[in-house]
Amino acid sequence: MNQLVRPPEVKIAASACPHDCPSTCALEVEVLDGRSIGRVRGAEDNLYTAGVICAKVARYAERIHHPDRLLHPLIRKGPKGSGQFAPISWDDALDLVAEKFLAAEAKHGSETVWPYYYAGTMGLIMRDGINRLRHVKKYSGFHSTICVNPAWTGFIAGTGKLAGPDPREMAKSDCVVIWGTNPVNTQVNVMTHAVRARKERGAKIVAVDIYMNGTMEAADLAVLVRPGTDGALACAVMHCLFRDGFADREYLERYTDAPRELEEHVRTRSPEWASRITGCPVETIEAFAKLVAERKRTYFRLGYGFGRSRNGTANMHAASCIAAVRGSWALEGGGAFHNNGAIYHWNKSMTEGHDAIDPSIRALDQSRIGPILCGEPDALINGVPVTALFIQNTNPVSVAPEQDKVKRGFAREDLFTCVHEQFMTETAQLADVVLPATMFMEHDDFYQGGGHQYIQLGPKLIDPPGECRNNHEVHCALAKRLGATHPGFEMTPRELIDWTLQNSGWGTLAALEANKWIDCQPDFDTAHYTKGFAWPDGKFRFKPDWKTVPFRSPWLAGPVNDMPVLPDHWEVIEEATPEHPFRLATSPARNFLNSTFNETPTSLAREHRPTVMIHPQDAAKLGIADGAKVVLGNTRGEVRLHAKIFDGVRRGVLIAESIWPNSAYEDGRGINTLTGADAIAPYGGAAFHDNRVWVRRL
């Protein structure tokens, strides 16, 4: 019998996955010695992770011990983007960065410096501490839009709050609807709990997506729609529920704002109507509605993917409405869930320096970094140009939309850029100073689950290689040189964790360390809104006031005034035209996570090369063979890659799984050359899955 035998000196330590994925898996890490790790596994005793993690994190040793890791500070020696760097000491590098920031500030004012970061780590200390520096120094703010805004605001528009039924309740459901997310790739625990419901209760799994990905293949019913048409599908399902007598009228009267208006409104939103918009057969829509009708205990697990469309906020809201029409919220294993962000009631003032916030300082839109760096006045809110950038945990030259503009902006000679990174990313290649950063097992941090309800500790397990320093160390060292003072700069990461836990009502670091995680799940009545939704009148909103949805955004964006009054198909997407007859979505690849992991040999080998999926009939019409080189184009640029003939997409739809390094494409132009940076209503966001393009054989 094969048995896994570990050498006695291998220590198993608890950690948490820091990557940009709602599962935030609880990990067990083999610590081989003070500097290296072995295998990584999911923690069996964590009720959400339940022992399962994705393959790319299971082989994390490949990433943390990668020979290409940045180990020493570097200074640019050749022209921007030439890749010519020379070593520099930490002190000299930090002195230079501070000198450049102070000089930029003296010339243009403090708003000319823009700290830019994102979710390369989701740790509350290492990700968010950069905000303390920006608040104290009155640097330009960071309006975080690239990922969550459309999905979060669409969900909150109905419930009034970003929270829902315990995600572990999926295992107690009679029907799990996995909508716009692909947990077979990433966020694997959704499948764990959904499959358990199927095995133990005979539950059905429904998947709604824009191509036949792994989750769609694993589902009992796969609902394949065109990108950006989820609102139409949701309306048709509600139409069927009202039509067939499965709308829970008692629930609707007690818990919702405008049930009769909604019923009247969806009377014309029939499956035939929705079929014309979604491309999905009437029978499939009817089958979906029948499952929800017959299985009131339906759990809608709503993902981020379908929010990344110009009508994404409205689509998320429409999907969340189905659970209210059916009254599923009232039952254990029923309701709708997207993210648990609202359950943690954090006091982040020490980490982020909230006491130093000056509301008069502008906040720049993360997704619009291209137009901002190119000096477009509206993107700069008619203010001073950005002449100094400090970047942590993100790789905008690969991941941000309108890539040509992003590259043009970074190439500006009057822009000074400091990038603190783990690898020489395509953003780091365009920097003036590159600083080597730690990975999560090399520093102390803590995490909150978005897709579950745990606070988890990720302690330092091994020493970093070379001269790598963690984000907090760099914030503090820069603050000293920039004359920025705040008690948070005088604390260690462990002290910051302890302070934040204690001041948020979650106990102490010592207790978290002893218990590994804190289960923050609210009680059933709160999670299921049995005493009313999170609005003053307690009613779920079918008719949201889009301009006042409670969210962190400082301003309204996009065509807010045109948003639908009731759930609907909002025709604001980049619909195909005769010149651009295809709609392109840039869905996540299984072995990458945004641009993270696109440096590890196994991930690269498994993904093979950048491809675009195209329906066989579309390919035949254009004379494109499987594996042929093609070019995709629109008004933003052109991208060259290989065709993959695939009948798991609707006609007229192209899927390019991403995010490959730009250098993997023939001419160095990555897939985000084609995506737009125009804001999604009402609070911003990037429509990564909503691009009209043409395609030609090369």
Give the binding site for ligand SF4 (CB under 6 A).
17, 19, 21, 23-25, 53-54, 57, 186-188, 593
Tell me whether residue 28 or residue 473 sits nearer to ligand SF4 (CB atom): 28
Tell me whether residue 21 or residue 435 sits nearer to ligand SF4 (CB atom): 21
Asked if residue 179 lies in contact with residue 302, where contact means CB atoms within 8 angstroms, the answer is: yes
DSSP states of 575-605 as a string? ---SSS-EEEE-PBPTT-BTTBTTTSHHHHH
Minimum separation from the CB atom of position 395 to ligand SF4 (A): 17
Tell me whether residue 23 or residue 159 sits nearer to ligand SF4 (CB atom): 23
C-alpha R_g of the chain: 25
Tell me whether residue 313 or residue 598 sits nearer to ligand SF4 (CB atom): 598
Minimum separation from the CB atom of position 188 to ligand SF4 (A): 5
Query: 59: burial class by Cβ within 10 Å (0-12, 13-18, 19+)?
Result: middle
Tell me whether residue 187 or residue 229 sits nearer to ligand SF4 (CB atom): 187
Tell me whether residue 40 or residue 639 sits nearer to ligand SF4 (CB atom): 40
Distance CA 132, CA 357 (A): 9
Minimum separation from the CB atom of position 24 to ligand SF4 (A): 5
Asked if residue 186 lies in contact with residue 450, where contact means CB atoms within 8 angstroms, the answer is: no
What are the backbone angles phi and psi of residue 452, rounded to the nearest 5°?
-145, -150
Tell me whether residue 21 or residue 314 sits nearer to ligand SF4 (CB atom): 21
Tell me whether residue 271 or residue 450 sits nearer to ligand SF4 (CB atom): 450
Minimum separation from the CB atom of position 4 to ligand SF4 (A): 20
Closest of 624, 627, 601 to residue 695, by C-alpha: 624
What SS3 string covers 518-550?
EECCCCHHHHCCCCCCCCCCCCECCCCCHHHCC
Closest of 57, 168, 171 to residue 452, by C-alpha: 168
Give me the half-sphere count of Cα atoms (radius 13 Å) on the Cβ side of residue 483: 5
Read off the amino acid at residue 450.
G
Closest of 195, 194, 213, 227 to residue 300, by C-alpha: 194
Q: Which residues of 224-242 are buried (b: 16+ CB within 10 A; e: fewer)?
A: bbbbbbbbbbbbbbbbbbb
Contacts of 267 (CB under 8 A, 6+ apart): 239, 242
Any bridge partners for residue 211, and if so which? 649
Asked if residue 184 lies in contact with residue 211, where contact means CB atoms within 8 angstroms, the answer is: no
What are the backbone angles phi and psi of residue 206, rounded to the nearest 5°?
-110, 135
Tell me whether residue 25 or residue 373 sits nearer to ligand SF4 (CB atom): 25
Any bridge partners for residue 179, and if so which? 208, 302
Minimum separation from the CB atom of position 270 to ligand SF4 (A): 38
Asked if residue 348 lies in contact with residue 500, where contact means CB atoms within 8 angstroms, the answer is: yes
Tell me whether residue 136 or residue 190 sits nearer to ligand SF4 (CB atom): 190
Number of neighbours of residue 32 by Cβ within 10 angstroms: 16
Distance CA 293, CA 290 (A): 5
Minimum separation from the CB atom of position 129 to ligand SF4 (A): 21
Contacts of 184 (CB under 8 A, 6+ apart): 191, 213, 214, 215, 217, 218, 590
Asked if residue 174 lies in contact with residue 333, where contact means CB atoms within 8 angstroms, the answer is: yes
**DSSP structural state of residue 463:** P
Tell me whether residue 186 or residue 500 sits nearer to ligand SF4 (CB atom): 186
Minimum separation from the CB atom of position 593 to ligand SF4 (A): 6
Tell me whether residue 54 or residue 653 sits nearer to ligand SF4 (CB atom): 54
Helix (H, G, I), strand (E, B) or coil at 130: helix
Closest of 198, 169, 174 to residue 298, by C-alpha: 174
Distance CA 165, CA 172 (A): 11
Minimum separation from the CB atom of position 604 to ligand SF4 (A): 17
Tell me whether residue 48 or residue 506 sits nearer to ligand SF4 (CB atom): 48
Tell me whether residue 19 or residue 420 sits nearer to ligand SF4 (CB atom): 19
Contacts of 335 (CB under 8 A, 6+ apart): 164, 165, 299, 300, 323, 328, 329, 527, 528
